[in-house]
Chains A and B, each alone.
Chain A
Amino acid sequence: MTPARPHVEVKALTMAYGDHVVQREVSFAVPRGEVFVIMGDSGCGKSTLMRHMIGLSRPAAGEVFYDDQPLWAAGEEDRERLKRKFGVLYQNAALFSSMTLEENVSLALVEHAGLSGKEARDVAALKLALVGLAGFEDHYPSEISGGMRKRAGLARAMALDPEILFFDEPSAGLDPLSSRRLDDLILELRDSAGTTIVLVTHELPSIFELGDHAVFLDAERRTMIAQGRPDELKESQDPKVRAFMSRGRL
């Protein structure tokens, strides 16, 4: 039996800002319907890797494939179409501050799915209700708390029922309870909708709780130094990975 085709595949990706190489020769595959964690110490280029995977930064070398379709070798139109396969929750939610929560969520529905205003409003209300924000449709991002903003950002990311959801440091700035609720939501999305989740984080509880597979990027060696299941990485041959996974306790 041949192994299932990966949902996302990163091949020999080298990321650089000008002459400064952030990470080189990073390769891994994200299985369909799993929570995949990108982790590493601060400044190692986790978020940069995510930017390359979601089409915001062009790699210095290498390619990102979605269902075997290249992201960067594709033309502008094809890349735009590929982008509709995924939703992104940014570190600070990145909600459009001049729009209400409902407008934030319905924007993509109107522009891409061609829904009418009324239909888009109904779908937006559903998405907001799914993240526990029913009744907040007319609020502006500045009128709600940080945790609620994250959830609204998730509702917006889920608007078009994406196959893949990217999360950049979802727990950053959240209290433990809000963080926990967000983790539960992520698991819920994986289990109920079969969504593939790519998670950029260094929060150990989330990594162990959510992660099916993980890769570890190293800031000093500027490349990926380990990959596997989080509990396997705890026993990694590499002392840095082992120390990271056990919060410095060796």
Chain B
Amino acid sequence: MDSPPSDVAAEARLDVVREGTGLRLVLSGNWKLGAGVPPTDGLLHEIETAPPVRIRFDAAGLGAWDSALVTYLFVAFGLAASRGIEVDGSGLPEGARKLVALARAVPSRTVAHPPEDDALTARVGRVALHSWGTVGDAASFLGETLLALGALVRGRARFRRVDLLHAFESSGVAALGIVALINFLIGAVLAFVGAVQLQQFGASIYVANLVAIGVCRELGALMTGIVMAGRTGASFAAVLGTMTVNEEVDALATMGLRPVEFLVLPRFLATTLMLPALVAYADVLGMLGGLFVGVTMLDIGTAEYARQTREALALRHVFIGLAKGVAFGAVVATTGCYYGIRCGRSAAAVGEATTRAVVMGIVLVVVVDAIATVFLHLVRL
């Protein structure tokens, strides 16, 4: 579309000349995108002041041109057409005339979008309806998962055993490192913070009680749940989301295999069964973190610390932590799989599904933990 460069290195210029009932637009200088697209305000003003019958062009002084000229002409032709003004493009360069004709050949398609009410009440209503829809959808997903569990109990669930083994690996063994590190540090931090307070009363040895009960009953499960939401929940959402985008989930459905049974069930089982095991592992590592601080910074003997821990730690604390592990496993697997299966059909949707799975997973883990803590307090456990 670029014409040979002109000797005239002048700026784009447009002069509007009145010729009786018509307008002549005199184009001169270089009309290049580098200098921007000249505004059509002047022309619009002329047209509205005294509507002409006809517009013609004089491009004798036109230098180099590119899309800047074609854009201007496209807008100008549109202005004229909308007001019933006849346009004579014969004075334009042939290339520009053809490009404008091509751009105007297909009338712009008006897509019927219902007008959206922008009032605050309407916006709140839309958010509420959307949220209600999501709650209903999540409930139906949960129902499907429970039906799949029912099918498993009756021995009729259809999924690949190898998928279950992979899920066991990814939500169990593969998470050992990060779970160990986080819980060891949490145990150490808890011991350190507790020691600073307890030392004032000469009760440093009770650091062992604080760490043992705090980690086994609460923090071991909570931190492992959060780590798993960020790790395994994200991984489930990304894998299932990508399968949705690639139509693999549709392919399963048309093969008569239920996606929830085939894809969600093995992940749900693996995470729900592996998370308590990880919590037990996390408890041990958390207490080792406390022991490390007790022995190195508080001058408590290893045997003494261990004895104090044993005396403080009732079995119910351990079981409460493990039970929370089962609940967190179910929460992490369900949120990760839900957002993965309900993912949109684009690359961006996979990212969004993963983010939502992690955020919702962490939120639900903490909410379930809070509810469990209040409930256990009420039943005096």
Contact = CB atoms under 8 A, between A and B. Distances in A.
Given A19-B114, A111-B158, A55 B247 contact: no
B256 A90 contact: no
A50 B37 CA distance: 46
A119 B243 CA distance: 28
Interface residues of A, number: 25
B248 A55 contact: no
Interface in B7-52: none
Given A19-B114, A94-B246, A94-B247, A112 B256 contact: yes
Nearest to A76: B258
B40 to A, nearest CB: 30
Nearest to B247: A94
Contacts of B158: 111
B250 interface: yes
B246 A92 contact: yes
Contacts of A19: 114
Contacts of B253: 55-56, 83
A2 interface: no
A107 interface: yes
B124 interface: no
B338 to A, nearest CB: 19
A83 B254 contact: yes
A127 to B, nearest CB: 14
Given A19-B114, A111-B158, A90 B251 contact: yes
Nearest to B258: A80
B248 A107 contact: no
B257 interface: yes
A111 B247 contact: no
Interface in B211-256: 242-243, 246-248, 250-251, 253-256
Given A19-B114, A111-B158, A86 B254 contact: yes
Contact of A94 (B109, B160, B250): B250
Given A19-B114, A111-B158, A96 B255 contact: no
A126 interface: no
A56 to B, nearest CB: 6
Nearest to B242: A97
Size class of the B contact interface (CB-based, 8 Å): 10 to 19
A97 B109 CA distance: 39
Contacts of B257: 107-108, 111
Given A19-B114, A97-B246, A111-B158, A83 B256 contact: yes
Contacts of B250: 51, 56, 88, 90, 94
A208 B179 CA distance: 61
Contacts of B246: 92, 94, 97
Contacts of B247: 90-92, 94
A35 interface: no
Given A56-B250, A90-B250, A108 B114 contact: no
Contacts of A56: 250, 253-254
Nearest to B249: A94
B251 A94 contact: yes
Contact of B248 (A87, A95, A112): A95
Which interface residue of A51, A91, A97 has the most chain B CB atoms within 10 A? A97
Nearest to A166: B254
Contacts of B242: 97
Contacts of B114: 19
Which interface residue of B160, B247, B251 has the most chain A CB atoms within 10 A? B251
Contact of B256 (A80, A96, A156): A80
Contacts of A91: 247
A55 B254 contact: yes
Interface in A53-72: 54-56
A84 interface: yes
B256 A54 contact: no
Contact of B255 (A81, A92, A108): A108
Given A19-B114, A96-B248, A97-B246, A54 B254 contact: yes
A144 B159 CA distance: 26
A81 B254 CA distance: 10
Which interface residue of B109, B160, B255 has the most chain A CB atoms within 10 A? B255
Contacts of B255: 83, 107-108, 111-112
A84 B114 CA distance: 40
Contacts of B248: 94-97
Interface string B82-116: 00000000000000000000000000010000100
Interface in A153-179: 156
A51 B109 CA distance: 26
Q: Give 4 nearest A-B pairs by CB, closest first.
A: A94-B247, A94-B251, A90-B247, A88-B254
Interface of B: 109, 114, 158, 160, 242-243, 246-248, 250-251, 253-257
18 contacts: A19-B114, A56-B253, A80-B256, A83-B253, A83-B254, A86-B254, A87-B254, A90-B250, A92-B246, A92-B247, A95-B251, A96-B248, A97-B243, A97-B248, A107-B160, A108-B256, A108-B257, A111-B256
Given A97-B248, A107-B257, A156-B251, 11 more contacts: A56-B254, A83-B254, A83-B256, A88-B250, A91-B247, A92-B247, A94-B246, A94-B247, A94-B250, A95-B248, A112-B256
Interface of A: 19, 51, 54-56, 80-81, 83-84, 86-88, 90-92, 94-97, 107-108, 111-112, 156, 220
